[in-house]
Structure 1
Amino acid sequence: MTAATTAPVEAQDTHAHIDPAAQVANAATAPVQTRSERPHSFDAADFGVPTGREVNWKHTPVTQLTGLFRTSSDSDGVTVDVTPSRYLRTALGFGDAPRGEFFRPEDVVSAVAWQGGTEAQHIAIPADEEIAEPIFVQLVGQGAELRADQHIVIEAGPNSSATVVLRHTGSAQLAQNVEILVRDGARLTVVSAQEWADDAIHASAHQARVDRDASLTHFVVSFGGGVVRVNPNVELAGAGSEARLYGLSYADAGQHLESQVYMHHKGAHTVGDVLYKGALQGQGAHSVWIGDVLIGPDATGTDSYEANRNLVLTEGARADSIPNLEIETGDILGAGHASATGRFDDEQLFYLQARGITEEEARRLVVLGFLSDIVQRLGVPSLEEELLAAIELELQAVNA
């Protein structure tokens, strides 16, 4: 590992990487079967180049991501603007706290983003401060052929309250890490909205630690981009911590939208709720959701649930949905998972049409009702209005 990539590293488990072609040093030869067993490295070379046969890459069009499998000498393809700017602190280099306090790359792209993001943006909410208006981070791609490697740290001080919205527009090839630290008693909402142009490529790892009596609400909203893969990883480390992870996607023809979600209940009396919803239309539209929940041996009194729902609107679209649950203690309040993918409910359509509503309008109302459930949880009125308008535009396309 080079000096530029050094950082505090936890002792590695003697397991193989979930990616069999990426053997981290001292790993065994048996493929990893669970998300919790993935080893980590800050060196992209330790992971190798995915082939598409690996467990954590087999649903991803890896040939379209090859530009993100190695660091770039030119990494200015995305501009960043933070409003209000008073919450943007001095950039963090390697070894500058709190960068790397929790984040550990678990695949080649997150390691590339760590190495290439030599100066990490640091957004910090002071302790005890309650910020009513959202903090907007505008990330604008400067061209489909341009690269960017990026690391962002969002830190909510003890007993603070804030909403941070990451908005991705334009086009670029972006390898991105987002490190989220929610200190004791803090309440933080993070929204990552992917509104890219059709030719953008975006792979991002969001890793968050939630401390004692703190809460994180995290949204992944993906409408634009050619290939978008945003993988949230949340550790409920402190007793009484909570996390609510919500996702919304709308995939069009030829578009790939993916999220691999991991929630680790580590502390006692933690609460987790995961709900991702997606709509798909057009030939080759593809969505992927993989949800992993680990309830650790000390996570007594845990209450956790994860679900994924997909609505397929046309022929030729495909949704892959894989929920997983690991429980290492019997002393919990509850744990469960669910997944469903289907077409329009004929009974719903019949009910609406029987009341004089046309079939086209009935389909529109069903889709809006299905997706607006997530939109209305955002708590950012301007963004809610834009997303509802975007859904209307998508529906016009499918009904044309």
Structure 2
Amino acid sequence: MTAQAEAPTASTVTGHIDPAAAFVPVQTRSARERSNDPASFPVPSGREVNWKHTPLDRIASLLTDAPGAEAAVSITVAGPLAAAGLRHGEAPRGDVFVAEDVTAAIAWSRATEAVYLSIPAGVELEEPTIVDLRGAGGVAHAHIVLEAQPNARGTIVLRHAGTAALSENVEIIVRDGASLTVVAVQEWDDDAVHVAAHQARVDRDATLRHVVVSFGGSLVRINPSVDLAGTGSRGELYGLSFADAGQHLESQVFLHHHGAQTSGDVLYKGALQGDTARSVWIGDVLIGPDAVGTDSYEANRNLVLTDGARADSIPNLEIQTGDIRGAGHASATGRFDDEQLFYLQARGIDEEEARRLVVIGFLMEIVQKMGVPELEQRLVAAIEAELEQGPAR
């Protein structure tokens, strides 16, 4: 009798299986590892979904878990709010923030005292509070906690200038019925490097307007993450960037609709001029299973002014419930509209002035969302300066 060979089972067939092929990388923002322990994260290789667009050689000093330099970045506060300090374990530090990557985890552990600003319950601030962060060279780590207590109203502006390699965490808490505007302005010197993680929670019937404005710096990477946790909460996430030759300006935005009847509006706009000017925008919107009645939209638009500039734009939308009012996303990158230029030139405006008007008109939609007239004027002047400077840095 001829013996029959036993069919191999799945557990015995190993000869042609590549263990590396079984690895499936994390793709969705919500599934990423989160920890404030730097040891929880491997050093990025550049192949990870959240690092593959970032030139890691420029931020090498921020990937090492080592103390920063004394007085590398000074922080001063002006306006109606007085700053306090929060050490590790002191609430509300850590109520919201849990790092998503190694740079944020290092900043969490190395920033021994956080700057804390809180708008008291029921108070409406008539003028903004300005937080100036000025770099004097060297590596620095910072943690900032911003809180709007119930039914408070106000604006806080974070202004970055000088030169440094800064890893910064910004923790934002908007409690029931409050309305908070946070504007982060990056006007760094040409050699500065700035990596920041902004994480926010918006409670019941509260609103957060979050604006990122990036002009200066060799590399600026600002990643906002907003959790619309409470019923009826709203998130408005806006961004403006102007990249010149050699600059890398990046934002990875995450808007999580967690509570019911929430609404979100995400709009980032960028202009680029000069060889190797680069912008990266990744927008993730997650509408969770309990976020019934959600209304959400995200868009990114880029205006490329010269050859050699490149804008990467990646919108993502994940919906886990069918009971929503609406959701959508859009992305567009292009050059000048020839019809707009023709229209302006036909009315006696020379080409250079016509181009200036088109760029300013394109970016003004974001500038006007600041709600701070003095800052809006300053940003218009900065846009004018970028255009006068031209593509070369």
Q: TM-score category by the smaller chain?
A: over 0.9
User: What is the rounded CA distance, in whole Å, between the counterparts of 1:122 and 1:227 in structure 2?
Assistant: 26
Q: Which amino acid aligns with 2:25?
A: P
Q: Which amino acid aligns with 1:70?
A: T
Structure 1 contact 87–125 (Cα < 8 Å) conserved: no
The residue number in structure 1 matching 2:169 is 177
User: What is the rounded CA distance, in whole Å, between the counterparts of 1:74 and 1:316 in structure 2?
Assistant: 35
Q: Which amino acid aligns with 1:46?
A: S
The residue number in structure 2 matching 1:17 is none
Structure 2 contact 80–125 (Cα < 8 Å) conserved: no
The CA deviation string for residues 92-130 of structure 1, in whole angstroms up to 9 with x for no partner, is 111110011011100011001101111011111110000
The residue number in structure 1 matching 2:89 is 95
Corresponding position: 1:294 with 2:289 = no
The CA deviation string for residues 38-78 of structure 1, in whole angstroms up to 9 with x for no partner, is 12111112211112111111110011111001233234311
Corresponding position: 1:148 with 2:143 = no
Structure 1 contact 245–274 (Cα < 8 Å) conserved: yes
Q: 1:268 aligns with which of 260, 265, 271?
A: 260
- CA gap 1:319/1:86 in 2 versus in 1, 3 angstroms: closer
Using the aligned pairs only, state the percent identity.
66
User: What is the rounded CA distance, in whole Å, between the counterparts of 1:177 and 1:200 in structure 2?
Assistant: 17
The residue number in structure 1 matching 2:45 is 51
Corresponding position: 1:69 with 2:63 = yes
Structure 2 contact 245–391 (Cα < 8 Å) conserved: no
Corresponding position: 1:127 with 2:121 = yes
The residue number in structure 2 matching 1:370 is 362
The CA deviation string for residues 313-333 of structure 1, in whole angstroms up to 9 with x for no partner, is 001100000000000000000
Structure 2 contact 227–256 (Cα < 8 Å) conserved: yes
**1:65 partner SS:** helix
Q: 1:84 aligns with which of 79, 87, 98?
A: 79
Q: Which amino acid aligns with 2:295?
A: D
Q: Which amino acid aligns with 2:362?
A: F
- Aligned pairs for 1:18-57 (under 5 A) are 29-57=23-51
The residue number in structure 1 matching 2:271 is 279
The CA deviation string for residues 3-50 of structure 1, in whole angstroms up to 9 with x for no partner, is xxxxxxxxxxxxxxxxxxxxxxxxx95311111111211111221111
Query: How many residue pairs were aligned?
Result: 370
- Aligned pairs for 1:224-239 (under 5 A) are 224-239=216-231
TM-score of the pair, normalised by structure 2: 0.92
Runs of 4+ in 1 over 6 A off after TM superposition: none
User: What is the rounded CA distance, in whole Å, between the counterparts of 1:267 and 1:86 in structure 2?
Assistant: 30
Q: Which runs of 5+ in 1 are unaligned?
A: 1-27
The residue number in structure 2 matching 1:200 is 192
The residue number in structure 1 matching 2:314 is 322
User: What is the rounded CA distance, in whole Å, between the counterparts of 1:172 and 1:359 in structure 2?
Assistant: 38
Structure 1 contact 71–112 (Cα < 8 Å) conserved: yes
Bigger radius of gyration: 2
User: What is the rounded CA distance, in whole Å, between the counterparts of 2:377 and 2:282 in structure 1?
Assistant: 28
Structure 1 contact 72–149 (Cα < 8 Å) conserved: no
User: What is the rounded CA distance, in whole Å, between the counterparts of 2:80 and 2:233 in structure 1?
Assistant: 29
Structure 2 contact 68–141 (Cα < 8 Å) conserved: no
Q: CA-atom RMSD, angstroms?
A: 1.2
TM-score of the pair, normalised by structure 1: 0.91
Corresponding position: 1:213 with 2:205 = yes
User: What is the rounded CA distance, in whole Å, between the counterparts of 2:219 and 2:176 in structure 1?
Assistant: 36
